[in-house]
Structure 1
C-alpha cells in the first residue's frame, strides 16, 4: 500500500478559549483554563478579543496557539458584528470540541459566531441581573453551561436564572500554580527593601484598587483602633491606586495614623513581595473570589478577610473572618495575630484545594467534556 493509500491518522481535537483581554488577573485566568487540558488529547487555542499582540502574553497563556483579534473597547460595544465574523472564521478553522469563554461579551460572541457548546466563565457578581442577558442566556441555554469562580458567584447566577438545572451552573474555583508563585516570591528582606518598609516593623498588608468595593476605609479604621495594642512601630501598607487615594489619606490623618499608613501605589508584579507582610487583610464587600488571598497564603502570610462574597470560601479554616465593615472586629483580628505572631512562613494545607491539579480533577468530574487520560 502506498503512502497515499494509507489510512489517515486521528484528527486532532481542540478546545477554543475566548477571553475579553489579558489585563490584570485575566492573563492568569487564561493560563488556568489552558492547563486544564494538560495531559489530555486536546490542544488549546486561546483567542483574545482586545489587546495588541504580545510575546509575553503568548508565553503566559500556556496554550498551543494564541490569536490576538486586537479590537479596542469601543469596537466591541453594541452588536460586535466584526468580532462575530472573526470568531466564526476561527471556529471553522479546525475541529473544536467546545469553547470556554470568559465574561459576558465573549460568551455572546461565541454563541452567535459558532454552533459550538460554550462554557461561560463568570468572574463577577451580577452578570445576569439584566433582563436582556437573562433572555439571551435562556434562548441559547441548550449550548451554554456556566461556571462561577466561587460558590458565591455560582449562587448569584442560579438566582438570576432560576429555571436552569443546578448542574448547568457550577463552581470551578480560581487557582494558582503554587510552586510557580512561590518561586517568584522574594524573601522578606528583599521584599521590604523593594517596598521601602522598615526591616523590623510589624506590617499589615493590603492589595487592591482604592475603590469603595475594596473598603480600605474600614481597613484604616480597624488598624487605627488596634494600633495602641500592636507592636511599637507597626505599619499598614496598602498596595494599589485609585480614585479614593486622597480620601483615604485624609481619613488616616483624621484618625491620627498618617505616619503608620503607607500608600505604596501600583506595584508591578506585586505578589512577588507578599513576604514583606506579617499579616494580609482583605476588606472587600463583593469580592467574587480573592486571588490575592491565595498569593498571600502561598507566601506563608496569615490572612484576614471580610465574611462575605467568595473570600470566605478561600479563608474558611485557614485564616480569620470578620463581619464586613465592622472595624472593631477587624481590630480584634489584628491584635490576635500580633499577640500570637504565629503562622509566618506556614503554607496552609487547604491551598491545595485551589491548585491546578484540583481544578483538573474537578473539571473532569463535571463531565462537560469527555476524554481518557
Structure 2
C-alpha cells in the first residue's frame, strides 16, 4: 500500500494553535503580561500581571463534524494539562470541536472561557469517564512495562509520572474554550464566512474595547489578523530555553499603532510648511517602508518620551499658534539618539520628525489602548 506524505492535518493543528493563542490572549488582555506559543509547559502559556499562569492545551479536528476523535482529543488534553506547574490560575482546553465532551446537547459557543462550574452534569460525567479511562490505560501500561527487560525502565517511569499527575489532577480547575466554526476550506458549507471568523470577531472585540471608530477598525482588522498569525506561528518555532521567547502584551499590541500610522511624508511636510530635500526624502521613505523598523521605534517607550516632552512644551509655550510645528522643529534633536543607526543627518531628521508626528496624531488612540489593556 502506498504511504501518504500528506501532513496537512498536522499543519492545520499548528495553524489552529496560533489562532487560538490570539483569541485567548485577547480574552485575558487586561490581566495578561506576556504569552508563549508552544512553551516547555504547554501549547499556550499566558503569564499574568500577578505572576500566575494560564495554561492552555489546543486540540483540533480538520472536519467540522468529526465525532470519532472527540474522546481521544479530550484525553490527550487532560494528560497534558495534568502535568503543568503548581503556579497556575487557570487550565484551559481550547478546541474547534463544538461538543468537546461528546455531549450533543451542549454547545460552547458563547465566546467566553467556560469554567467547570457551568458544565452540564453530562459533561462532567464524560470528563470523569475520560479520566478513569486514562488511569486504566496507564495502569495497564505500567504492568506491561515492568514485565519487560530493563531497557524499558525509562518508559515505565514516564508512565508512573503520568499516572501520578492524572491522580492529582483537580477536574474542578478545568476550563474550556471552543473556537467554532474553524475548519478546512474544503469542508466549508455555502454561506460560511471561513476558518478565521472567530479570531476576526475576537480582534473586533479588542478594537471595540479601545473604542475606536468603525472606519479605523475596518482599515486595520485584517492586517492585524495576518500579522498576529505570522507572529504567533513564528513564536511556536522558537525553543523555550534560557533566552525568553515571551511576547509581552506591549509587543502584541504595538502593531495596532503601526497600522494606525503611515509612512508617507506629505502630511508632516504640510504641517511643517516645508519640502524635504529629495535625496534625503527618498532614503527616509525607504527606511520607513520597513515594517520592522517602525515596529521597533514607534512603540510605547518612544511614545512616552515624545508625549512627555510635548506636554512640557505646551505648558511652557501656551501662546504658540502652531504647537505641533514648533515642537517638531525645536525638539526633534532631543530624540535623534534613538535613531543613531541612521548615518545621514538629514535622513535622521526627517524620520525623527515623521515618527514624532505619527505619535502626536495617534496619542488619543494610544491612551485608549493603554487604558483598555491595563498598561501602566
Alignment TM-score > 0.5, same fold: no
Greater helix share, 1 or 2? 2
TM value normalised by structure 1: 0.28
TM value normalised by structure 2: 0.28
Higher alpha-carbon Rg: 2
Greater strand share, 1 or 2? 1
